[in-house]
Amino acid sequence: MKGITPVIALVMLMLITVGIVGTAFIWFSGLLRGSSEDAISIPNGGVYCLGANIYVMVLNLGASSSITNADIKVFKVDSADVAVNIPGGSMNPGEAKSITGGYPCGGTCAGATHNIAVGTATNVVQTRVTCK
């Protein structure tokens, strides 16, 4: 009977170890998936001037989650906050949409360079546009 106790102790230690590793794996994979699901980028040509307005297009880099107006945490043009208005209210994974109907820069558009910042909880993308 003395030989059974070390075997049981070893099996119990192995079960505890496997349980801890499995829990850690699930927790970390959830963190990694959640942090990259609402990632965005601005595609080439995604920021442009048209008349007295600046338009900004954003690409949803996530694999399975749509991005809504509420997911865009930062949207600034020249340090001024801009309201987000995604057509239809959301953007599917891999889809690019304009996030504003046009930011009115008025008389400051022509010949000026404007700084654009757009971000979610995951990342912030910054770019510049020079209006003609």
Question: Is the domain of 61 the same as that of 124?
Answer: yes
Same structural domain, 1 and 26: yes
Q: Are residues 64 and 19 in the same domain?
A: no
Kindly state whether residues 54 and 12 are assigned to the same domain. no
Percentage of the chain exceeding pLDDT 70: 91
In this predicted structure, the answer to whether residue 3 has a pLDDT above a threshold of 70 is: no
Which has more confidence, 34 or 115?
Answer: 115
- Quick: pLDDT tens for 79-114: 889 999 999 999 999 999 999 888 888 777 778 888
Residues 14 and 49 grouped into a single domain: no
Average pLDDT over residues 51-78: 88
Instruction: Name the residue range of residue 7's domain.
Output: 1-36
Residues 46 and 81 in one domain: yes
Q: Indicate if 54 and 87 belong to the same structural domain.
A: yes
For 1-132, strand residue ranges (E) read: 40-41, 47-50, 53-60, 67-68, 74-77, 80-81, 90-91, 96-98, 103-104, 113-119, 124-130
